[in-house]
Amino acid sequence: MDLATLIGIVLSFGLVAAAIVTGGSPLIFVNIPSVLIVVGGTIGATMVNYPLSHILGVMGVIKKTFFAGMESPAEIIEKFMDYANRARREGILSLEPLIKEIDDHFLKKGLQLTVDGLEPQTIQEILETEISYLEDRHSIGAEICSTLGAFAPAMGMIGTVIGLVQMLQTMSDPSTIGPAMAVALLTTFYGAVLANLVFNPMAGKLKTRSKEEVLLKEMVMHGILSISKGENPRIIEEKLNSFLPPRDRRQEG
């Protein structure tokens, strides 16, 4: 679980809820018509904007805002130092038994291509294509979250207009003014909360996660290419360390 995401959600919603409770009954902020307008309208407009397959697929991408399942750069460098030393001592084919134990599809594919004897340039082209399509998939997920964040306040404004029209139509009956005004104000509130506490922060986190994952994939690709070229393990370590800030670089032991 990503602690920053969890703490951020608890903190933001907790403070909003605390402000509501201290100001009176929280039930006055519950309005079913407002929920239907904002939630239903936002989801519906987004479904019009994107193919259904993209909408359904985004759920898997959104999980990355809560779960950080990526290896650390230090672990990747450690792996490649082991692969490089093994390949240097016993030959490139000695890596083949290790491929079955690897869970990372990208690393597994790259090492398999290397063991199969493909030219480094061909391996690079294949892996760069993989990275490119990975970025495309992630960008779609972040884009959908941003779209949800844009539609939610817009639907809130639509609800506000609906509530104001209802209120103006029934000004002669004071008992109807309160419910109509509640719809007018609460839809704006719901839209603002969803956009600024949920959808837009998720879009930002997905963009950050995508950059981090692409960086790790590029590290893996350069490590694989270096092994396929038969480079010295020390040179490989220096190449992979160059992806990291100085304080995080693996020190020679």
User: What percentage of residues in the chain have a pLDDT greater than 70?
Assistant: 96
Residue 9: pLDDT over 60 = yes
| Prediction pTM value | 0.79
How confident is the model over 17-71, as pLDDT tens digits? 998 888 778 888 888 888 999 999 999 999 999 998 888 877 777 777 777 667 7
DSSP 167-222: HHHTTT-GGGHHHHHHHHHHHHHHHHHHIIIIIHHHHHHHHHHHHHHHHHHHHHHH
User: What percentage of residues in the chain have a pLDDT greater than 90?
Assistant: 42
Collapsed DSSP state (helix, strand, coil) of residue 72: coil
pLDDT at residue 111, rounded to an integer: 93
pLDDT at residue 253, rounded to an integer: 46
Mean pLDDT of 89-104: 89
Tell me if 115 sits within 8 A of 99, measured CB to CB. Answer: yes
The angle that helices 120-169 and 200-228 make with each other, rounded to 10 degrees, is: 180
pLDDT at residue 128, rounded to an integer: 95
Asked which of 67-81, 120-134, 145-159 is least confident by mean pLDDT, the reply is 67-81
Q: Which of 64-73, 156-165, 238-247 holds the top average pLDDT? A: 156-165
Mean pLDDT of 89-115: 90
Tell me if 183 sits within 8 A of 163, measured CB to CB. Answer: yes
How confident is the model over 108-120, as pLDDT tens digits? 999 999 999 899 9
Residue 156: pLDDT over 90 = yes
Greatest alpha-carbon span in the chain = 91
How high does pLDDT run on average in the chain? 87
Please, what is the Cα angle at 106 between 117 and 101, to 5 degrees? 80
Measure CA 174 to chain center.
48
Residue 208: pLDDT over 50 = yes
Cα–Cα distance between 142 and 226 in angstroms, integer?
33
Q: Please name which of 215, 236, 238, 219 lies closest in space to residue 227, comparing C-alpha atoms.
A: 236
- The stretches of the chain forming alpha helices (DSSP H) are 3-22, 32-35, 41-49, 52-62, 73-90, 96-99, 105-115, 120-169, 177-194, 200-228, 233-241
